[in-house]
Amino acid sequence: MKALIIYISVHHGNTEKVAKVMANTLDATLLQVKQANASMLEQYDLIGFGSGIYFGKHHESLLDFVDKLPVLRNKKAFIFSTSGLRRIRLVHNFDKPLKEKLQRKGFDIIGEFSCRGLDTYRATKLVGGINKGRPNAKDLKQAEDFARSLKNSGDSYLN
């Protein structure tokens, strides 16, 4: 199984912390979205896509990257993010735009991970931000467990 992680982390480097733990666990190549191009994906079986959440969805540059991909076959993907607020599946499902784009490009989504990240946007700045210290050790341990579960999912691509 060859894994690649493509991410962008612009606000406080929150998502980068998660991406690094996942890359270590999966022995994956780790690239910022600006370093990645569509032709690289061909070599990988599993590709992770992650960023902070901006206005209810993943970062625009990650969404644009996926928009420009051709339709691919036999690719597994997972999605991850850090965010100021918790995801509420039916009300505030910020994974949905990225997930739908990836599915339209032929990816089989095998997992989604999200945890809180320090957020100093707008009014939260007045109190020094929300989710101070996050992602914390517990979040990163959960990210590691999540990545391990992808590895151990029993799928032939992941052995």
What is the contact surface with ligand FMN in residues (CB under 6 A)? 9-15, 52-56, 82-85, 117-119, 121
Select from 82, 68, 95 the least CA-distant residue to 10. 82
Q: Which is nearer to ligand FMN, 121 or 136 (CB)?
A: 121
Select from 87, 89, 5 the least CA-distant residue to 51. 5
Q: What is the b/e burial string over 98-110, where b = at least 16 CB atoms within 10 angstroms of the residue's CB?
A: bbebbeebebebb
Q: Which is nearer to ligand FMN, 1 or 130 (CB)?
A: 130
Smallest gap from residue 51 Cβ to ligand FMN (A): 6
Q: Which is nearer to ligand FMN, 29 or 61 (CB)?
A: 61
| N-to-C CA span, the chain | 6
Amino acid at 120: T
Smallest gap from residue 92 Cβ to ligand FMN (A): 8
Smallest gap from residue 141 Cβ to ligand FMN (A): 17
